[in-house]
């Protein structure tokens, strides 16, 4: 099975070949590196930008306004914060022009903890990004969804922020991408650049790749349950699934929802699940104050109050300025599997 970095690379290849993507660019995105996480190795429309995040976003906007279809990369989301005003402009372009101007651009950026990146390479961006209207925002938790969400993003006529959980970029999937070779080693030989001199290397893309698309705004029911619902995305989603499996051995039935799209999001799926279980825990690793999960808690209370058997809960990152370098500090700063298991166990035990 492909890992998430390979899935992103194959989706970008499909997009530049079949979906009209004209420019894939950012810091170290082009040859010889092909991205710090190798997500852009071997692609034909890549080029290297200066170390200038504002320039990257501004160039993407200009290319899109000029009739192109760019996919820009901010190398780590920690450095996208100085582009907020440009992201707001990109988000309001279609609205403020009364629909006369579309902006078909995708911005990719790795997010979150999990690589011991310390204070400059471990931030999250989902809470901030969902505060900017006019963008669609997605975050996959597995390679198949990474491929499908990126295919959908590259078809959109207005901006999409594609958040890549960096802790999962090297994790292989459990479902094969349509058109992916059956043998993992074959895939690696075809599309992974060799170490050392790459000047003569060219990828051999799988010819059977398909336009498999995950609809933006549609969640995924990962595990059915009837006592408590847990809603997550990105790095914490697999932790929630494993916590649910652990609690099943204790007789606690947990329903797991992968949100996949943060805007628009699948409220209908969440609503049906919460009405069934009466209890819900929202989990992500962004800081807990003004967290995206707080919005979901508020909407749950507003619309589903009389269906609840317990108050809705949020488990998120600690409200600290950054993620510590030491393993113990990183583990303590953001939710881990044991934290999720403990929170779900306690919530399942709450009674009206």
- Helices vs strands, H then E, count in the chain: 11, 12
Cβ neighbours of residue 50 closer than 8 Å, sequence gap 6 or more: 27
> Sign of the CA dihedral 290, 291, 295, 300?
negative
Structure tokens at 204: 């051999």
Rounded CA-CA distance 264/336 in Å is 27
In total, the chain counts a number of residues equal to 352
Count CB atoms within 10 A of the CB of residue 227: 19
Q: What angle, rounded to 10 degrees, do the helices at 292-304 and 267-277 form?
A: 60
Question: Whose CA is closest to 28, among 103, 67, 63, 79?
Answer: 79
The answer, yes or no, to whether the previous bond of 203 is cis (omega within 30 of 0) is no
Structure tokens at 216: 């933006």
Rounded CA-CA distance 4/10 in Å is 10
Give the Å distances, CA to CA, from 217 to 45, 248, 319, 340, 352. Answer: 28, 29, 28, 25, 32
For the question of residue 13 being annotated catalytic, the response is no
Half-sphere exposure of 324 (CA within 13 A, CB side): 12
Rounded CA-CA distance 30/288 in Å is 36
Give the Å distances, CA to CA, from 192 to 27, 133, 186, 255, 350. Answer: 19, 37, 10, 37, 50
Cβ proximity of 136 and 160 under 8 Å: yes
13, 121, 131, 226: the catalytic one is 121
Rounded CA-CA distance 69/155 in Å is 9
Q: Annotated catalytic sites, by residue?
A: 121
């Amino acid at each position: 099975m492909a890992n998430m970095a390979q899935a992103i690379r194959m989706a970008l290849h499909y997009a530049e070949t079949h979906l009209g993507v004209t420019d894939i660019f950012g810091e170290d995105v082009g040859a010889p590196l092909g991205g710090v996480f190798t997500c852009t190795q071997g692609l034909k429309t890549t080029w290297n930008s200066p170390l200038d995040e504002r320039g990257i976003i501004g160039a993407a906007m200009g290319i899109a306004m000029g009739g192109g279809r760019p996919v820009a990369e901010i190398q780590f989301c920690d450095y996208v914060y100085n582009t907020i005003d440009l992201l707001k402009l990109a988000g309001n372009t279609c609205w403020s022009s009364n629909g006369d101007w579309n902006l078909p651009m995708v911005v990719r950026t790795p997010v979150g903890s999990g690589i011991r990146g310390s204070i400059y390479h471990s931030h999250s961006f989902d809470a901030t990004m969902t505060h900017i209207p006019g963008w669609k925002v997605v975050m996959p938790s597995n390679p198949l969804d990474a491929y499908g969400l990126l295919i959908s993003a590259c078809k959109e006529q207005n901006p999409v922020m594609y958040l890549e959980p960096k802790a999962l970029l090297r994790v292989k999937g459990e479902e094969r991408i349509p058109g992916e070779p059956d043998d993992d080693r074959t895939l690696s030989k075809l599309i992974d650049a060799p170490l050392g001199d790459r000047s003569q290397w060219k990828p051999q893309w799988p010819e059977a790749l398909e336009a498999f698309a995950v609809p933006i705004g549609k969640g995924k029911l990962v595990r059915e349950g009837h006592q408590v619902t847990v809603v997550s995305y990105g790095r914490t989603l697999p932790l929630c699934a494993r916590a649910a499996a652990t609690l099943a051995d204790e007789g606690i039935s947990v329903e797991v929802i992968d949100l996949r799209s943060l805007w628009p999001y699948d409220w209908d799926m969440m609503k049906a699940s919460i009405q069934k279980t009466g209890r819900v825990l929202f989990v992500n690793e962004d800081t807990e104050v003004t967290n995206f999960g707080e919005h979901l808690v508020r909407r749950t209370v507003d619309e589903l109050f009389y269906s609840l058997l317990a108050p809705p809960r949020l488990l998120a990152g600690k409200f600290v300025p950054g993620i510590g370098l030491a393993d113990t500090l990183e583990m303590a700063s953001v939710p881990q599997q044991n934290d999720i298991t403990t929170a779900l166990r306690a919530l399942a035990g709450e009674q009206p």
